[in-house]
Structure 1
């Protein structure tokens, strides 16, 4: 799988993580390669999506996305923060442009990673960051464990991020968004075989490709009906025909997320 699939964390951040923590799971042969901005989308703003957060290193370099679900809680992908410490990560809200200086930079006081997480293609790709101080932005609602019907094949979902705009391209300086249809579990299984874990994952994208999340979009939201229903996780390349993006199926982990939000 290495080199064929990729978690959607930025290559620069992956390289830094490898240098800082050679034992981090992202460097293991079973892990997926580095992530990508929204391919085939359009520019948007954090004013339109105030709950979309940048996740950066301590120097302000964005490597993943996240979703504010409470004033001090951000949902992201486990593969974004495995091997990181609370002091090595920052969360930036209200900043549409990567090179901007506006918005709010939040320090992280605690990182919770699903205890069963090993790598993105094995599932359990969910993490919750607790911030040292509240973010002054509207939080997103997220699915409950009983909202499983939101993943009906063909349902329109929205993706967002600052990732690369093509499989081998550079990151987008401005937040981007696109819509993609939910893919049936059977269709996703055809694309990814045993790497697709239906209980943990959901796919979204067009059979012809062309629109997808990419490197740098990892951890960002998959919205259905304006509600957080998935987390950008992994996929085979970016926007390739027959290989939709794979997202963490948040209904499966909603109760665990709520426990963290309330802690």
Structure 2
């Protein structure tokens, strides 16, 4: 992972404190203090850039199931990626405070994608319901003083089993951050100060004595910070890794906070082996306690269909305290002539299944409540679906309508447009073609009369690109509109 990140600013401050005032730094062969910066997507190297990649190894979300990507509108990483974070509860995320209040733009989270450069690989997206930063993180750039930790509450439950949530350190775990310990940092950040980002990487770094890390233009405070890595930046964190975990012995002991602006010195973490970790654990709470068994839900939980047509939904599941288990799916309460098809019919808790309800001409009109059952070793869970059968569906297919039909940007730029959907039967799924990297939609599925934000990643070659936006409804009917992107 781009082990280099916010370390630059720290280096400058430390050097200034260490070098004798009467002797020029150059005369002693000691590099000047590094300019400290937070490793967000806004990090910009100052002066030259290091030609060396911050050495790390590729890894996956499957190997690190508590990792999740922080996005923001206007974020500089692929798909708007801005920060890395850890899942610590059913709808709780641990990240850096500066990821929430030091940068603007609506924020959301994406789960399940190892390489953000290819859109559409994720398995889950959710918006931010609320967040709390440590009470002593008093405003933008407070990372310079520490307390750079935040707990985020998401709108939707995150599909990560409880036994795979990240474990957070507290004041009783002080021994885990003593100098000489070794830990792992993981993130989607840059692989060098001027390198690319968006691919999940990890690296192993030692914990250092803070006295050896005073090489930045601000002080590394050991009371609220943990200095890890190497003074030559051979490996470390970088822009985009902010908020990600530094884990020792399976416990998150620090949150990626800052480092050198060129990602070529030490990496500095917000310390959790103190009252900061105790505060975070208190905000996380019990992780929405349940009965310890797996859970299931349907999204959406209702749909409308004409007799002889079909409608689909997605069954989501979460593992219980006992971990993942095999669950068998079925449905009861189906109206006359209606069948339920599960794809697949057997899943592991934590996975999803597509459910399709297909009616016939004999299916009676009206609202029908269908019960979907999931049976596992720990018991049976159910979710209900309301199926409305009538002829109220629009005879024509859906039509996506861009708020504006064109935009101009620089090569490699990002353009966003609001897309409204009219007509169609049930919700419509939005897709688009016409540029090398397929545009993204948030949300991707909208109800008639609803809207979605389309994000277009401009090609690096100048020209005029015709983007075709397509909406496909639950009856399989489609409608399209054109959007023109000029790159110059």
TM-score, reference length from structure 2: 0.45
Report whether the alignment pairs 1:234 with 2:258.
yes
Q: How far off its partner does 1:239 sit?
A: 4.7
For residues 63 and 108 of structure 1, what CA distance do their matches in structure 2 show? 14
Structure number with bigger Rg: 2
For residues 131 and 9 of structure 1, what CA distance do their matches in structure 2 show? 20
Match of 2:233 in 1: 209
Report whether the alignment pairs 1:75 with 2:99.
no
Report whether the alignment pairs 1:256 with 2:275.
no
For residues 188 and 103 of structure 2, what CA distance do their matches in structure 1 show? 20
Q: How far off its partner does 1:178 sit?
A: 0.7
Corresponding residue SS for 2:215: helix
Distance 1:234 1:124, change over 3 A: same
Q: Which runs of 5+ in 1 are unaligned?
A: 16-31
Task: Please identify which structure carries the higher strand content.
Answer: 2
Q: How far off its partner does 1:170 sit?
A: 1.9
Distance 1:180 1:142, change over 3 A: same
For residues 97 and 266 of structure 2, what CA distance do their matches in structure 1 show? 20
Corresponding residue SS for 2:211: helix
CA contact under 8 A between 1:39 and 1:238: conserved in structure 2? no
Q: How far off its partner does 1:210 sit?
A: 0.8
For residues 111 and 68 of structure 1, what CA distance do their matches in structure 2 show? 14
Q: How far off its partner does 1:115 sit?
A: 2.0
Deviations 1:85-138 (A, max 9, x none): 8x9111112221113422211111001111221421111101110011211112
Corresponding residue SS for 1:191: coil
CA contact under 8 A between 2:35 and 2:216: conserved in structure 1? no
Partner residue of 1:52 out of 36, 43, 67: 67
Distance 1:178 1:238, change over 3 A: farther
Match of 1:221 in 2: 245
Report whether the alignment pairs 1:113 with 2:128.
no
For residues 231 and 181 of structure 2, what CA distance do their matches in structure 1 show? 14
Match of 1:140 in 2: 166
For residues 224 and 142 of structure 1, what CA distance do their matches in structure 2 show? 10
For residues 251 and 262 of structure 1, what CA distance do their matches in structure 2 show? 17
Match of 1:127 in 2: 150
CA contact under 8 A between 1:65 and 1:217: conserved in structure 2? yes
Match of 1:180 in 2: 205
C-alpha RMSD over aligned residues: 2.5
CA contact under 8 A between 1:212 and 1:238: conserved in structure 2? no
Match of 1:157 in 2: 183
Q: How far off its partner does 1:156 sit?
A: 1.2
For residues 123 and 77 of structure 1, what CA distance do their matches in structure 2 show? 10
For residues 168 and 84 of structure 1, what CA distance do their matches in structure 2 show? 20
For residues 271 and 165 of structure 2, what CA distance do their matches in structure 1 show? 19
For residues 61 and 112 of structure 1, what CA distance do their matches in structure 2 show? 22
Distance 1:44 1:127, change over 3 A: same
How many equivalent pairs are there?
A: 236
Higher mean C-alpha deviation, range 156-165 or range 94-103: 94-103
Q: Which runs of 5+ in 2 are unaligned?
A: 1-8, 13-33, 47-52, 287-488
Corresponding residue SS for 1:230: strand
Partner residue of 1:62 out of 81, 96, 102: 81
Match of 1:97 in 2: 115
For residues 115 and 179 of structure 2, what CA distance do their matches in structure 1 show? 33
Q: How far off its partner does 1:245 sit?
A: 0.4
Task: Please identify which structure carries the higher helix content.
Answer: 1
Corresponding residue SS for 2:172: coil
